[in-house]
Structure 1
Amino acid sequence: MLEEKFERLRNFLLAYFNQDMESPEGALQEYIEENSEGAISTTLAQINTFLHEDLTEQVKEQFIEDNCDLYFPALELTPVEWLKQVQAELKSTLG
């Protein structure tokens, strides 16, 4: 159900935050460089919707962990905290 509802977010996480990335920051920068403002805006809208969805924190974190290859303890962030950082970075890109 969540995979379908948040397919764009899932695809974003799977495509950029996988075992082939050099770093989470580099992967995000790569996404920003490769996509139009419209695509970034659409992804940002999906992140906003996901973060405001009436789900438990645990369900949100599991969805994020299931769809990307990040080791969150090493980042010293929870998956939701990390996604909020991504959200802020994408917002700042759009001005």
Structure 2
Amino acid sequence: MGNRYHYLEELEDFLGGTFHQDISSPQQALDEFISEVTKECLLSTIKDCEELLNSDVTHQEKEDFIQQHAEVYFPESELTPLQWLCKIIEQMREAVKTK
């Protein structure tokens, strides 16, 4: 993948490791992630998420990437995968303030 796409590997690990099939809910999984990691890890994860959002891949490729790696039923959340990721970023930013 090269250095340019290193953030994608990190993002795959975050999405797949946090939002997997054994979670009770995506919100609970995010809350657990936030409580277990350091402030630096949160900042790094936010950066990786933002790199995807700001990348030059198509909107559909971004949505597909998120859906491939996060075991989340997006219709239930009434959000598109990109809207959902933006919401996750906002919650992590808020958590950084209190860490």
TM-score normalized with structure 2 length:
0.90
Q: Which residue pairs with 2:20 in the alignment? A: 18
TM-score normalized with structure 1 length:
0.93
Gaps of 5+ in 2: none
Question: In 1, Cα distance between the equivalents of 2:54 and 2:19?
Answer: 22
Q: Which residue pairs with 1:70 in the alignment? A: 72
Q: How many residues align?
A: 95
Kindly, what percent of the aligned residue pairs are identical? 35
Equivalent of residue 31 in structure 1, options 30, 33, 54: 33
Secondary structure of the structure 2 residue equivalent to 1:6:
helix
Distance apart, 1:68 and its partner CA: 1.2
Give the partner amino acid of 1:92: E
Write the mapping of 1:1-95 to structure 2, written as runs, cut at 5 A: 1=1, 4-95=6-97
Gaps of 5+ in 1: none
What is the RMSD of the two structures over their aligned residues, measured on CA atoms?
1.5
| Contact 2:49 2:89 (8 Å CA) reproduced | yes
